[in-house]
Amino acid sequence: MSRYNKRTRAINANDQYKNIFDKKGVQRIEQYRTLSKRVYEDQIYDSIETINYTWKYGDMYWRLSSRYYGDPKYWWVIASFNKKPTESLNKLGDIIKIPINLAEALQVVE
């Protein structure tokens, strides 16, 4: 399966490329649009297995890191993975994702 199967196509007839079009003997070209950085990030993050955790009163990233990874120093992995750098951005009842495999998560967020 081609990596381009899901890409949006666009017609480029921009005058800026007139010299190139003239050299190729065309008036326009069809191009594949480049995926945004966010699309790549979302695909990568979605590929990591996680558990859903409901944010409770008194929760801290370092406590969750200690509970799930056995070490509080990986608190930033959970924060980065949820795109919420501080606990104050979480509200009671929010669902956050905790990556199950720390090694995989570290490859994504580093």
Domain layout of the chain by residue ranges: 8-35, 48-109
* HSE, side-chain direction, 13 A CA sphere, residue 55: 18
Residue 110 has pLDDT above 90, yes or no: no
Distance of CA 5 to the CA centre of its chain: 20
pLDDT category of residue 107 using cuts at 50, 70 and 90: confident
pLDDT one-digit tens code per residue, 10-50: 888 888 888 888 888 988 888 877 655 555 577 788 888 99
Under 8 Å between Cβ of 31 and 12: yes
Distance of CA 61 to the CA centre of its chain: 20
Query: What residue type is 15 in one-letter code?
Result: D
CATH number of 48-109: 3.10.350.10
* 3 state DSSP class of 12: strand
pTM score over 0.85: no
Under 8 Å between Cβ of 82 and 89: no
pLDDT one-digit tens code per residue, 54-104: 999 999 999 999 999 999 999 999 999 898 999 999 999 999 999 999 998
